[in-house]
Structure 1
Amino acid sequence: MTTSPAALGARLPRLLSLVPYLLAHPGVPVAQAAADFGVTEKQLRRDLELLWMCGLPGYGPGDLVDLSFSGETVTVTEDAGMRRPLRLTTAEATALLVALRALAEVPGMVDTDVVRRAVAKIESAVGAAAAPAGVAVGLTAREEETTAAVRGALDRGHALRIRYYTASRDVVGERTVDPMRLLLMEDREYLEAWCRSAEGVRLFRLDRVDDVQELAEPAAPPPTARPTDLSAGLFRPDPEQREAVLLLEREARWVAEYYPVDEVIEWPDGRAEIRLRFTDDAWLVRLVLGLGGHAQVLRPAPLRAAVAERAEHALLGLADG
C-alpha cells in the first residue's frame, strides 16, 4: 500500500501529539481518541501499533513507548520522554523555515504547494517572515506580552521599568532600564539594556521578566554603553562564582535548560550530570531540596553535606510536629 506525502505529513504531528493526549486522558476509549484526532478507529490503531516501535536509543524495555489496552480503551504506561505536546522553539522554527524555502525552490523534488502551505502555517505562528527572529513559537501568554512590550519600547525609543528574577541570587527586583537591542541566543530571547541601578549594560532574559512597564521618558543609554561582545558565547566564567556538579533525574532535567550550565553529560539511564555555577550556598541548597529528591550534589563535598544536613533538619521538624 502506498501512502501519499500529504498523509505522511499529517501522521507525524499526530503521532507526536498522541502520547501527550493519552497521558492526559488515561483509559480513553479508542473511538473517542479517533474522533478527537479526526481519523478512523482503524487509522488510530495503526498509529498506536507504530508508537510501540518508537522511543529512545537502546530500544529496549523502558526505552520504547508502551501502551495498555483494556477492552476498547487505551492507556500509556511508558511515555519514552514524549509527554510534552509538539512545540517549536524560535530557533527550530527559523531553521525549519529556511530549509522549507530552500526545498521549495528545487524543481521536481517535492510537492511545492504542500511546502508553501507549511511555510505559511509556520510564519503565521512566528509572525511575518521579515519580523525579528525574537518572535517565538511556544511562548506563554505572559512571555508574548513581555516581548511585545519590549519591542514596542525599542521602536518608540522609550525606557522601561521591569520586575526581574535574578536566578543566580534567587531574588526579584525592580529596575529601570534603557533598552538597546533584542537578542536571540541559545534559543532564548534577551533584552540588552543599560541598567540604571547597576550603571552598566546588562542582559535580561525575557522569560524571567515578571512585569514590564513602558515609561514616557526616552531611553538614553550613556555614550559609554557598548553592545556586549557575544562572539565567545553568552556566558563567561565569573571569578566570584564557584562550580557545583549535580546529578539530575529525568524529572529535573529542566534545570539544565533554565539555568546557565557549563556542561551537560548524558547518562545511559536518562539522567544528566551538569556543571552549574553559583555564588550563594543557601540558594543552591534550596534549589536541590526543592527538586524533591530528583537531584543530588556530586561535588563539592561540603555542599553535598549541607544539603543532607538541611534535609535532616526538615525531617526532624516534621517528626516533632
Structure 2
Amino acid sequence: MNELQFKRHRRLRQSANMRALVRETILNVNDFIYPIFAVEGENIKQEVSSMPGVYQFSLDRLQEEMDEVVSLGIKSVLLFGIPDHKDAVGTEAYHSHGIVQEATRFIKQHYPDVLVVADTCLCEYTDHGHCGVIEGEKVLNDASLDLLVKTAVSQAEAGADIIAPSNMMDGFVVAIRKGLDEAGFEDVPIMSYAVKYASAFYGPFRDAADSAPQFGDRKSYQMDPANRLEALREAESDVEEGADFLIVKPTLSYLDIVRDVRNEFRLPVVGYNVSGEYSLVKAAALNGWVDEKTIVLEMLTSMKRAGCDLIITYFAKDVARWISNSDK
C-alpha cells in the first residue's frame, strides 16, 4: 500500500473543527432577506395554509413580526401587500396609502436601520391576477410600464430603500430607473427580478399573496424553464438599463443559471428561495421524512456556493436562530 501514489484528501475532514477551518462557503445572517406579507385590516395574523410558519400580518400586528426579525439580526425585509380592493389596473399598488406603502412607513419609523425592499408588481392588486394591464386576454407590455413606474415612485416616497420589480415586462428596469430619477430618487437602487422563470414552484406564494391569475398563465412574460441562454440575455438587458442587483427566481432548480449570471456580471446576485421550495421541505419535515435544519442549511449553502451574494428566503428566521446557537 505504501508504494501506491494517491492524494489523501480526507486529512482535511478528520474533525468538525478541521472541516470548519477549511470550509469554503459560509452562511451569514447578513446574507438573508426575509419576505413579509402585509394585509389590510385589523388584528390579523393569519397563517398561510400552504406555508407553515409564514403569516399575513395587518399593520397593527406587524410590530411583533418585526421585533423578532430585528432580534435575530436580520437586516433586510421584502414587502408584499394584499389589498382589500382590486381592479383591472391595480390601483392600490401605486396608491400613496397602499398597504405596502403604509407597511414601509411603519417599518422605517420604528425600525429605521432595517432595509425595506418593496416588491414592485401589479398581480396582487389586479382583479385578473396578471402582472400588467390586459386587453382581452393579452398582457400589454408598454401600457404596464407606466403603472409600474407609478408604483415604484410611490414606494420610494413611502421610504423604501430598494425597489424590486418582479413583473418581467420588457423595459421595466429602464422605465423605473427613469421614473425614480425624475422624482428625485436617483439614489434608490433597483433589485431587478432579472431572471424569473414561469415556475410551478410559485404555487404556495399565490395563496399567501392572493395573486393567482384568473385566466391563462404567465408564460408569455415569465421565462421558459427549458432556456438557459435566454437568462443571460434578460440579465444583460437589465444591467444595461440600470439594475443594481440581479435576482434569479426560483433558485434551487436553477443553480446553473445562478452560476452563469455570477460568472457573466459583476452586480450582486440574489437568489429567491421560493415558496414551493420552502413548502416541500416544511411538509417533509413535519412528516418526519427529512431533518429540516440539516436540509435547509445544505440547500441555502448550495445557493451561496453557486454564486448568490444574497438569498431571499422564508427560512431566514430559522437559519438566523441556528447560526446564532452554533456560534455560542
* TM-score using structure 1 length: 0.23
Structure whose alpha-carbon radius of gyration is higher: 1
TM normalised by structure 2 equals 0.23
Q: Greater share of helix residues, 1 or 2?
A: 2
Q: Which has the higher strand share?
A: 1
